[in-house]
Amino acid sequence: MSPWGANDPRRRSFRRGAALVTSHLALLAVFALLVSAVFAALMRDEPREQIRTGGLMFGGFLGVAIVLSWLLYPLPL
């Protein structure tokens, strides 16, 4: 439980204006989904092929991001 109120700027999840999802993984997933959909539609003509390609690309985006994040985790920042 955060010691700060919901409208306190010191609170980590404080946002001005519209409340938005700020989880890195959630934003990454949304980004990956939309970009995969566009690339799948560009690369394939058949809807079934598009779904397959888009799914693979989406999984690739997420998988690579998670693997990279664990590889970078021990590095001091």
CB-count exposure of residue 40 (10 Å: 0-12, 13-18, 19+):
buried
Binding mask 43-72 for another protein (x = CB under 8 A): --x-x--x----------------------
Residue 73 phi, psi (nearest 5)? -55, -45
Give the separation between CA 32 and CA 50, rounded to whole angstroms: 15
Binding mask 17-36 for another protein (x = CB under 8 A): xx-x-x----x--xx--xx-
CB of 73 to another protein, least distance (A): 20
Q: How many residues bind another protein (CB under 8 A)?
A: 19
